[in-house]
Amino acid sequence: MFPPIPNPSTEPVAPTFGEADLWRRSASTIERPAERQTEVAKLIDVSKCIGCKACQAACLEWNELTEEIGSNVGVMTNPPDLTENSYTLMRFTEWENPESGNLEWLIRKDGCMHCEDPGCLKACPAPGAIVQYSNGIVDFVHENCIGCGYCVKGCPFNIPRLSNVRDRKAYKCTLCVDRVAVGQGPACAKACPTQAIVFGTKDEMKEWAAGRIEDLKARGFANAGLYDPPGVGGTHVMYVLQHADRPELYAGLPRDPRISPVVEAWKGVTKYAGLTAIGAFAAIGFLHHLVTGANRVSEHDEEAARRLTERGEK
């Protein structure tokens, strides 16, 4: 068993990170802190998940949110998709393993992966609406969010949701930044009865995952492995998958997620080339006027018009 995070004391605790520990800040250039905090991570071991949805309930509870009463769409996944309230969602997949003939119930807890290179943050136009702390947590700062939905386009995992009833701002898992800052783990990890969700430093989580993978391999899951996709610089939420060679099995978990090249082009070369082009056109106009001077009508032109008009009038 992974040693659980002890319960908090009743005394107020000073946060262990904050504004001074920003590693990235949307639409801003910042000076990074001299020292990076130890990276944290949440490890979700799909093979240990029993699908109880305690994590979903704990998430709503901690964030003081209530999910709308929906309707049964015929699957266990409920609500059917992430929402502005449900920052995390158990996605249920029934899969018949052709090798063993077994029906496998693959239950993946979906939510923000807290990418090392966050696409949402790259796409965000509002200064400081998305921040990444040096410990790897990516958080939305709602007082700065303008609700444009660019983060939705930037995210390789299709995570952020815009609020349609509250304030039209974007919401997603915070990795319980407010709990982690005072030495606690995420609410979902706290609630998980089987330790399918554990939380610690990224190194600890990788080490713990290695042991789990070894165990799974010994039980016949030859392709068991860790999901920590390098395309986004690794993530601060990782999965242990029984079939790590086929992540798509798990409700479409992307095989090689990366920030879309379209988004990279939009937020990269287009941004600079665009302003340069606009500046160049203005400068060319200015220079043209300096060189050629105004294009003026002469008295000769007016006279010609008078003659033409008189001829036409008769």
Partner 1 sequence: MSADRPRDVARGDAVHPGNPVIVDRYTVPARMNHWLTAICLVLLALSGLALFHPSLFFLTGLFGGGQMTRFLHPWIGVVMFVSFAGLFLRFWRLNFFDRGDSAWLGKPGEVLAGKEEKLPEVGKYNAGQKLYFWLMSITILVLFLSGIVTWQQYFGDRFTVDQKRAAVLVHALAAIVAICLWIVHVYAAIWVRGTINAMTRGKVTGGWAWRHHRRWLREVVTGKTLPPTTAPEK
Chain residues in the site for partner 1 (CB under 8 A): 27-28, 125-127, 144, 146-150, 152-153, 155, 158, 162, 168, 260, 262-263, 265-266, 270-271, 273-275, 277-278, 281-282, 285, 288-289, 292, 294-299, 301-306, 308-313
- Smallest distance, Å, CB 177 to partner 1? 22
CA distance 27 to 121: 8
Kindly state the helix (H) or strand (E) to which residue 139 belongs, with its residue range.
strand 138-140
Nearer to partner 1, 123 or 176 (CB): 123
Q: Is the CB of 32 or the CB of 306 nearer to partner 1?
A: 306
Smallest distance, partner 1 to C-beta of residue 10, A: 39
Residue among 32 and 271 whose Cβ is closer to partner 1: 271
User: In this structure, what are the phi and psi dihedrals at residue 12, rounded to the nearest 5 degrees?
Assistant: -65, 140
Nearer to partner 1, 27 or 60 (CB): 27
Among residues 251, 67, 65, 82, the alpha carbon closest in space to that of 161 is found at: 82
Q: What is the CA radius of gyration of the chain?
A: 28
Query: At its nearest, how many Å lie between partner 1 and the CB of residue 185?
Result: 31
Q: Are 250 and 95 contacting, i.e. CB atoms less than 8 angstroms apart?
A: no
Angle of CA points 240, 243, 244, to nearest 5°:
60
Minimal distance, residue 119 CB to partner 1, in Å: 10
Closest distance to partner 1 from the beta carbon of 223 (Å): 28
**Least distance to partner 1, CB of residue 28, Å:** 7
Bond before 79 cis per omega within 30 degrees: yes
**In whole angstroms, what is the distance from residue 207 CA to residue 184 CA?**
20
* Minimum CB–partner distance for residue 241 and partner 1 (Å): 23
Strands 89-96 and 197-201: unpaired
Nearer to partner 1, 51 or 254 (CB): 254
Q: Can you read off the two tokens belonging to residue 267?
A: 């937020």
* Closest-CA residue to 63 (of 166, 196, 164): 166
How far apart (Å, rounded) are the C-alpha atoms in residues 113 and 229? 10
Closest to partner 1 by CB, 73 vs 275, is: 275
The identity of residue 226, as a single letter, is L
Strands 40-45 and 237-241 turn out to be: parallel
Q: Which is nearer to partner 1, 183 or 279 (CB)?
A: 279
* Residue the block writes with tokens 């077994």: 102
